[in-house]
Structure 1
Amino acid sequence: MRRTKLFAVLLAICLMISAFAGCSKSNEQANKSESSTAFTDSAKRQVKLPAKITKIAPSGSLAQIVLFALAPDMLVGVSDKWSEEAKKYLDPKYANLPVVGQFYGGKNLNIEEIAKLSPQVVIDVGEAKSTIVEDMNSISSKVNIPTIHIDATTATMPEAYRTLGKLLGREAQGEALAQYCEQTYKKTQDIMNAVGDNGKVKVLYCSGKDGLNVLAKGSFHAEILDKVTNNVAVLKKFSSSGAGDPVDIEQIALWNPDVIIFAPGSIYSTVGSNPAWQKLNAIKKGKYYEVPNGPYNWMGSPPSVNRYMGMIWITQLLYPEKAQYDVYKETVKYYDLFYHCKLTEDQYKALVGNSLLKK
């Protein structure tokens, strides 16, 4: 009788343990399913991502600028070290983020650093290449981290920010950035419609230490330049590099631009006293300017959301009667939205000192 009772007690205990274990397993599976979600990126790839994302890594510098505006606190690292010039406009807590390198190409990709920082997702933002699916899959397998692509051109950046806002739980900030991009892009179109093709100023964009690299008409990096000017740099063949294509001073003289825009770090400060350049009308008339730079070149390098500020600057520079911006107020607004920086008037003057405030 005692054995029967003992057996019954043991059986009851076993059943309880089994039920508890089954329940725990069921809860664990439920939690697992709740902790991840399927996301379809712009390359039509379905990627399994955490339901709540708090740690991200950019695929490169273009994605870094876009993501920094939306969620700087989520970045576990940056693709390139911030320059000392850039640090003037950044909160110190973001200025010294670890450098993980570029995921594309992988020449300076730091796999060990990425593993240590363990981002939940690598985010690529920009115009999709024909190999985008293979590229994203390759990055994901290389670092063993989910990788997604969000398509974004100057025209489609608003939708990109709305998508990223939902993905990262930053809908309000994503919408604010989207609206800014929409409004700036539309106003640029309105200004240029008022100017008309015949009213576009003949412009040449020069870069490099000797100023003899140009952004060719039709090249990827000349998108904004082509939109708002008559870009005289017509070349039969051109590269897709932000450094532009090399030419000589004789070719520049043949193009005879009305205005020359110099990239940061080029020869803007010495070109006025350079005999070879003094022959050009744009130089003789003082119609040459340097692109504002900080944290990034307003016209590109990389060609990301920094170009919206470039649209405002260059339309006001070339077509002041049509643009009618208060560039100081616009710059303060932009730096607050995209760089989380309270820009001072002195900082603004330093930024545009060789362009809008040039004497």
Structure 2
Amino acid sequence: MSDTKDSTFPFRPSLIAAALALPMFAVQAAELTDMTGRKVQVPDAVERVFAVAPPVVPLVYAIDPGKLVTLNFPFQPEDAPYVSPLVKDLPIVGRYTGEGQPPNPELLAKTDPQLSIAWDIPFIDAEQVERTFENLKTPGLFVHLEHLADYPAAFELVGKAIGEEERAALLAEDIRTRLRRVSEAVGPIPESERKRVYFAEGNDGLLTECHDSFHAEVIELAGGHNVMRCETKAMCGRDPVSLEEVEKLDPDVILVDRPKAFAHIESDPAWSALRAVREGQVYLVPSKPFNWMGRPPSFMRAVAMEWFANLLYPERFDWDVEKEIKAFYSLYLGVEPEVVDVQAILGKG
């Protein structure tokens, strides 16, 4: 990580000194109802949060990065300009969802969290997560983060739990506004006229997501038609497909999840048979500092939805790329607009 100055991230509501000065004994608790209907007693002053699953990290980060005590995944060196110094040295523990090892109990205990927040999704072992709450002796909230539309309520719940209701309410309303604005622009497009999109994952572009996968929901939110009409069988998705199958599907546009696959598709003669490749309709999904499509799923899907709606239907959704991306990074990541290198984020720098 770079030695990014604290002033680059001006929105942080809490103070580290205040957190360190908090007494270690229990404080008065307030009862909250989490997104599964559970009643949870949450301390009035929460400064140390354990994000149980990868999608919870960006959720808490957007509200106040200084509240996090661990990460589930490392940031990359190129992410440094967009990552708060408050998290760059946090220990990386395991995860209860997705790919990777479960958290290390001893390492977790040393971080001394006051609150744990978990991702409620059908693929997790909720009982195992509950046991983690008990072992850490922390209250635990479950949040729904599967779809972008879940985020307003998740922001509001977590904001209330950690004492940042005003900040959380601002983010919640912003997500609602973006969803409404894009829906009004692309919603009226008849299904038969929607751009057909293939989402290329993996190093060779031959892994993909079914149309019902939350990893690819940006396509449908932006008014596109995901050509993979199938049912997701596993949380991680990445269903294999052959190049011949992709050719038959004949997508108008190809979204690519990683630079290696993007370079492969652009240079491999076998892919040139696809109309989308010949017509230059292949786009790399941005990933700094969180992947825009959703690995892990995060609020970045809001800017991805707008970016992709503008790429698909510029005549319907007018969007100033430079201005809007800088504003989004400023609001959600606390990065000063002049720090945001839009062309580099879009893989063009």
Place the TM-score, normalised by the shorter chain, in its bin: 0.7 to 0.9
Please, which moves more after superposition, 262-271 or 182-191?
Answer: 262-271
Greater relative contact order, per chain length (Cα 8 Å cut-off, separation 6+): 2
Name the CA distance, whole Å, in 2 between partners of 1:251 and 1:118.
51
The reply on whether 1:167 has 2:152 as its aligned counterpart is: no
Q: Tell me, yes or no, if the aligned pair for 2:81 and 2:339 is still in contact at 8 Å.
A: no
1:69-148 to structure 2, matched below 5 A, reads 69-104=62-97, 107-125=101-119, 127-129=120-122, 134-148=127-141
Name the CA distance, whole Å, in 1 between partners of 2:247 and 2:123.
38
Unaligned runs of 5+ in 1: 1-31
Three-state SS of the structure 2 residue aligned to 1:313 is helix
Please, which moves more after superposition, 181-190 or 138-147?
Answer: 138-147
The reply on whether 1:224 has 2:218 as its aligned counterpart is: yes
Which amino acid in the other structure matches residue 171 of structure 2? L
Query: Quick one: which of 175, 179, 188 aligns to 2:182?
Result: 188
How far has the Cα of 1:161 moved from its partner?
1.3
Name the CA distance, whole Å, in 1 between partners of 2:121 and 2:245.
34
Give per-residue Cα distances to partners, 1:82-130, cap 9 Å, x unaligned: 22222231133322212132144882412122111100011124x5438
Name the CA distance, whole Å, in 2 between partners of 1:207 and 1:193.
27
Name the CA distance, whole Å, in 1 between partners of 2:139 and 2:250.
50
C-alpha root-mean-square deviation of aligned residues, in Å? Answer: 2.3
> In the alignment, which residue of structure 1 is the partner of 2:20?
none
Name the CA distance, whole Å, in 1 between partners of 2:260 and 2:297.
18
> In the alignment, which residue of structure 1 is the partner of 2:36?
43
How far has the Cα of 1:346 moved from its partner?
6.5
Please, which moves more after superposition, 63-72 or 109-118?
Answer: 109-118
The reply on whether 1:211 has 2:169 as its aligned counterpart is: no
Name the CA distance, whole Å, in 1 between partners of 2:339 and 2:316.
24
Query: Quick one: which of 51, 66, 86 aligns to 2:59?
Result: 66
Query: Quick one: which of 229, 233, 242 aligns to 1:234?
Result: 229
Q: Tell me, yes or no, if the aligned pair for 2:255 and 2:284 is still in contact at 8 Å.
A: yes
CA 1:134–1:346 in 2, change beyond 3 Å: closer, same or farther?
Answer: closer
> In the alignment, which residue of structure 1 is the partner of 2:192?
198
Name the CA distance, whole Å, in 2 between partners of 1:209 and 1:160.
33
Name the CA distance, whole Å, in 2 between partners of 1:281 and 1:84.
35
The reply on whether 1:277 has 2:271 as its aligned counterpart is: yes
> In the alignment, which residue of structure 1 is the partner of 2:312?
318
Please, which moves more after superposition, 53-62 or 344-353?
Answer: 344-353
TM-score by length of 2: 0.85
Name the CA distance, whole Å, in 2 between partners of 1:134 and 1:346.
42
> In the alignment, which residue of structure 2 is the partner of 1:258?
252
CA 1:103–1:69 in 2, change beyond 3 Å: closer, same or farther?
Answer: same
Query: Quick one: which of 163, 173, 177 aligns to 2:171?
Result: 177
Name the CA distance, whole Å, in 1 between partners of 2:96 and 2:124.
15
Which amino acid in the other structure matches residue 332 of structure 1? K
Name the CA distance, whole Å, in 1 between partners of 2:80 and 2:303.
18
Give per-residue Cα distances to partners, 1:185-226, cap 9 Å, x unaligned: 111211222433233101101011111111112223222223
CA 1:91–1:109 in 2, change beyond 3 Å: closer, same or farther?
Answer: same
Which amino acid in the other structure matches residue 316 of structure 2? K
Which amino acid in the other structure matches residue 173 of structure 2? Q
Which amino acid in the other structure matches residue 226 of structure 2? N
Three-state SS of the structure 2 residue aligned to 1:95 is coil
Which amino acid in the other structure matches residue 35 of structure 1? Q
Give per-residue Cα distances to partners, 1:276-300, cap 9 Å, x unaligned: 1111111111111111120022111
Q: Tell me, yes or no, if the aligned pair for 1:261 and 1:290 is still in contact at 8 Å.
A: yes
Taking only the aligned residue pairs, the percentage that are identical comes to 28
CA 1:199–1:74 in 2, change beyond 3 Å: closer, same or farther?
Answer: same
Q: Tell me, yes or no, if the aligned pair for 1:89 and 1:294 is still in contact at 8 Å.
A: yes
Which amino acid in the other structure matches residue 68 of structure 2? L
Name the CA distance, whole Å, in 2 between partners of 1:191 and 1:121.
40
Q: Tell me, yes or no, if the aligned pair for 1:89 and 1:343 is still in contact at 8 Å.
A: no
Query: Quick one: which of 50, 62, 76 aligns to 1:57?
Result: 50
Unaligned runs of 5+ in 2: 1-24
Q: Tell me, yes or no, if the aligned pair for 1:261 and 1:288 is still in contact at 8 Å.
A: yes
CA 1:169–1:116 in 2, change beyond 3 Å: closer, same or farther?
Answer: same
TM-score by length of 1: 0.82
Q: Tell me, yes or no, if the aligned pair for 1:206 and 1:263 is still in contact at 8 Å.
A: yes
The reply on whether 1:288 has 2:282 as its aligned counterpart is: yes
